[in-house]
Structure 1
């Protein structure tokens, strides 16, 4: 089974049990903070289902309608997950605000604390597994799901500490305060997800570190190429796309130019995963070549000097 699909299934199973458990305990306690955590877990469950669907679709090969593959389904899924988080935050606030107006009896504090502690532990373990696979496969959908669960870890711990505080102080107003804090943390996670996914959908360039790796790889061929320009990069789901124009000595044969481009593509693939490189080879326009000189005769070439700087 595809490791991305496998770990997405794990997230669905864990979130199903946690949502049911939190809802049952939240209503038995009459605690808005515990119910807010149940809502959060329910949204995490829906997000896990969306992530599961997205990674299955994104694994499909390119076809006639999607020449560049289906990678951006993961970016769309991540944005949908973020919007679900925003909806959960709004719902939590709506439930918490009325609680500030008066005292509310909160019961079964011990059970509530136990459920929150178990929830934090389970979500921590599952989020670590999700994040590990997300990094290995560079999957935005799984990364979004992992961030959901990691947020749930922090919020569950917050509700746990709130329940403990209510037990020792008797101040039930702590309950809606914690619910509001949970909502704010959720909104921050939503913002991060939307920002990262929109960058890919809008074809923002690759991160600076990855651009640097491409430049370094090309520099290693300074004895075979004159220069390069029009370097463009973008990302689609976990897939990276790079294209550039490569300026080579006009004395090179077509076969030599093709082999050189192939080798550069292979070297970039060794350093960056899931990358598709397209190189347009251009002959140098200088009129300095006579016979069949080597590139070492290009030492005075202005274009090559720019490249070596």
Structure 2
């Protein structure tokens, strides 16, 4: 089974257990911050399920209907997860505001503190595993799921701190205040995730550092061509796509030009994993009809 699928399944198991545990403790103690964490974990569980199916689909090879592969399913998953977090955050703020106005007191804050600390401890290790696999496989879906769990770590610790302060001070209004603070924090993370996941769906170019690697790789073989232009890049899941026009002297043999293109493609795949390169060969036009290895600068990067 694909490593990404195994890791996504682990996230589902973890979130299922924590959601049930937080829900039961939240109902028993009457803590809106714990109930908000249960809602947060429920969103994480839904997100983990979406991640599980998206990585299964995205790992499929290209087919007749999807000639560029299924990578964008992961990007769609990231957008859906961000929207779910956004909705959960708004719901938490509304419910916490109601509790702040009503002034209802909690039950056992010690039990709530213990559960929240345990939740943070478990999610810390699960999120670290998700991040590790996400970076290894360049998986947007797993990266988004890891972010969910990482925010769950912070929010659980925040709730635990709030419950601990309530236990010491007996100031029960701290519970909904902590819940609102956590919701705002989660909301900010959701907006950042939405931006990151949405960009590949509208074919935003690769990062400046990746483009720098691409241009440096092309320049390694500059002694064999006159110049290049129309460089375009985009990303789909863990796949990077690069296409460009490479200009050669009009009298160069086709095989020699093709060999240079092969060398560039091979070198680029070593520098950037999962990169597909499409190079269009061009002959110098009338403006550089005398283009040769000695005056190739006349048409480079035009």
TM bucket, shorter chain: over 0.9
Give the deviation of 1:139 after TM superposition: 0.8
Within 5 A, what are the aligned runs for 1:137-148? 137-148=137-148
CA-CA distance at 1:107 after TM superposition: 1.5
Counterpart Cα distance in 1 of 2:99 and 2:299: 70
In the alignment, what sits opposite 1:195? 195
**Distance 1:97-1:300 versus aligned 2 partners, 3 A rule:** closer
CA change 1:157–1:279 in 2 (3 A) is same
Which of residues 287, 290, 295 is equivalent to 1:288?
Answer: 290
Aligned partners of 2:225 and 2:296 also within 8 Å = no
CA distance in 2, matches of 1:136, 1:150: 18
Counterparts in 2 of 1:229 and 1:165: CA distance versus 1, 3 Å:
same
- Are residue 303 (structure 1) and residue 283 (structure 2) matched? no
The answer as to 2:231 corresponding to 1:214 is: no
Cα deviation per residue 1:107-148 (whole Å; 9 max; x = unaligned)?
Answer: 121111111111111111111110111111111111110000
What is the match of residue 292 of structure 1?
none
CA positional deviation for 1:301: 5.0
Query: More displaced, 120-129 or 96-105?
Result: 96-105
Q: Structure 1 residue 62 and structure 2 residue 62: aligned?
A: yes
- Unpaired stretches in structure 2, ≥5 consecutive residues: none
3-state DSSP of counterpart to 1:282: strand
Distance in 1 (alpha carbons) for counterparts of 2:297 and 2:45: 61
> How many Å separate the matches in 2 of 1:247 and 1:288?
13
Contact 2:250–2:289 (Cα < 8 Å) also in 1? no
The Cα of 1:211 is off from its aligned counterpart by 0.4
- Name the Cα RMSD after superposition: 1.4
Task: Measure how far apart 1:13 and its partner are.
Answer: 0.6
**1:301–1:219 Cα change, 3 Å:** closer
SS of match in other structure, 2:258 = helix
- Aligned partner of 1:278 in structure 2 is 278
Q: Map 1:222-237 to 2 at 5 A.
A: 222-237=222-237
Distance apart, 1:300 and its partner CA:
6.7
Divergent runs of 4+, >3 A = none
Aligned pairs, number: 300
Query: 2-side partners of 1:98 and 1:191: how far apart?
Result: 25
Q: With structure 1 as the length reference, what TM-score do the two structures score?
A: 0.94
Which residue of structure 1 lines up, in the alignment, with residue 8 of structure 2?
Answer: 8
Query: CA–CA distance in 1 between the matches of 2:171 and 2:51?
Result: 40
2:171 aligns with 171
Post-superposition offset of 1:98: 1.3
